[in-house]
Amino acid sequence: MSIVLPCYNEEDVLRETHSRLIGVIGSDRSAEYEVLYVDDGSVDGTWSVIQEFAAREPSVRALRFGRNFGHQAGCLAGLREAVGDAVVIIDADLQDPPELIPEMVSLWRQGWPVVSARRSGREGEGYFKKLSAFAYYRILKAISDHPVALDTGDFRLLDRNVVDLLTGLGDNELFLRGAISWAGFPETAVEYQRGSRASGESKYTLRKMLALSRRGIISGSAVPLRAPAYLGLVSLAGAGGIAVSRRDPKAAMTAAMFGFQTLAIGVLGEYLRGVFRYVEDRPAYVISERTASVPTADSSPVPAVEEVA
């Protein structure tokens, strides 16, 4: 098992996080663990604290970014670097309790390739964060081609197959939760109450939160690009209505002009979506399982019909 912890300026909480994490995985004799810290360009003492852990414990490894590249980049780096049969991504501030890991591992052993942690409550978070997260997840679900599970973040366990698929996508702007739901592996969840961070302030500034939300919408939904086309069609229908019912050619022309222009933007959007899909270059499908009897490329050929008879 690999445990990935992206950290940005977490000097204050890291010792507590580490000892709680080690407490949990140290008492689990059923698996071998590696702990992988990704220092996302911290400017406090985070890196020296991590180095201390790595010097003391052979199961601890760490990477350090040259500057702050963001939490999603940290997760991606961790996934690329991890060697476990499964990888758990967890926040460094103890808002994601490490005590859930054994339960997630046992669900993975039962055959679930993705085990997410669903927040059944957000006790420790401010009103604005709660409301914006509540609204955002629901909007994203409504407009996405492949909806992200409600109220889940990046605290997840991913099977090796899922990790290999995600890191093989070559997507440098990966929106992890979106890509996981796009891949569509069977997913289950454990529930937890999200408490407040053990120490320090949120490292997700409003700007970073908006950037993440934008990334989620752009990579997961065509609705914003298509919206002008729908608006244009409605305007054209309105123009027709005005022309017939009010016999007001001037008003009808104005509505029609607006309709044509917005429709044209919508058509451009549709082509842009095509280009986006092409550049994104995702595989056409993802295979999550095979039966044992399906011949693979390197197995012996299927016997000819005569031989079978």
Binding site for ligand UDP (CB under 6 A): 6-8, 10, 40, 68, 70-71, 74, 91-93, 95, 197, 202-204, 208
User: Which option in ligand UDP, Mg ion, none does residue 92 bind, with CB closer than 5 to 8 A by kind?
Assistant: ligand UDP
User: Which option in Mg ion, ligand UDP, none does residue 119 bind, with CB closer than 5 to 8 A by kind?
Assistant: none
d(CA 188, CA 283): 24
Strands, E, within 76-232: which ranges?
Answer: 86-89, 114-121, 152-159, 187-193
Q: What token pair was written down for 252?
A: 């009808």
The footprint of Mg ion on residues 177-206 (CB under 5 A) is 197
Contact 40, 6 (CB under 8 A): yes
Q: Does 9 bind Mg ion (CB under 5 A)?
A: no
Give me the least distance between CB of 87 and ligand UDP, in Å please.
15
d(CA 201, CA 198): 9
d(CA 21, CA 30): 16
User: Which option in ligand UDP, Mg ion, none does residue 70 bind, with CB closer than 5 to 8 A by kind?
Assistant: ligand UDP
Select from 9, 17, 42, 95 the one that contacts Mg ion (CB under 5 A). 95
Given the complex with Mg ion, which of 102 and 195 has the nearer CB atom?
195
User: Which option in Mg ion, ligand UDP, none does residue 18 bind, with CB closer than 5 to 8 A by kind?
Assistant: none
Stretch that binds Mg ion, among 67-75, 92-100, 257-265, 277-285 (CB under 5 A): 92-100
> 7-38: string of b/e by CB count within 10 Å (b at 16+)?
bbbbbbbbeebbeebbebbeeeeebebbbbbb
Select from 93, 151, 159, 187 the one that contacts Mg ion (CB under 5 A). 93
Given the complex with Mg ion, which of 145 and 201 has the nearer CB atom?
201
Given the complex with ligand UDP, which of 106 and 199 has the nearer CB atom?
199
Give me the least distance between CB of 196 and ligand UDP, in Å please.
9
Q: Which residue has the tokens 């017939």?
A: 244
Given the complex with Mg ion, which of 119 and 197 has the nearer CB atom?
197
Give me the least distance between CB of 202 and Mg ion, in Å please.
6
Given the complex with ligand UDP, which of 205 and 261 has the nearer CB atom?
205
Cα 102 to Cα 24, 25, 31, 33, 159: the distances in Å are: 8, 8, 10, 11, 14
53: how many CB neighbours lie within 10 A of its CB?
20
Give me the least distance between CB of 75 and Mg ion, in Å please.
14
154: Cα within 13 Å, side-chain hemisphere = 24
**Size of the residue set binding Mg ion (CB under 5 A):** 3
Q: Which value, in Å, is the radius of gyration of the alpha carbons in the chain?
A: 25
Given the complex with Mg ion, which of 94 and 165 has the nearer CB atom?
94
Contact 160, 263 (CB under 8 A): no
d(CA 178, CA 207): 20
d(CA 138, CA 149): 10
Q: Does 17 bind Mg ion (CB under 5 A)?
A: no
Give me the least distance between CB of 118 and Mg ion, in Å please.
16
Given the complex with Mg ion, which of 96 and 159 has the nearer CB atom?
96
Q: Which residue has the tokens 């406090």?
A: 44
Given the complex with ligand UDP, which of 24 and 251 has the nearer CB atom?
24
Q: Does 235 bind Mg ion (CB under 5 A)?
A: no
Which residues are at the interface with Mg ion (CB under 5 A)?
Answer: 93, 95, 197
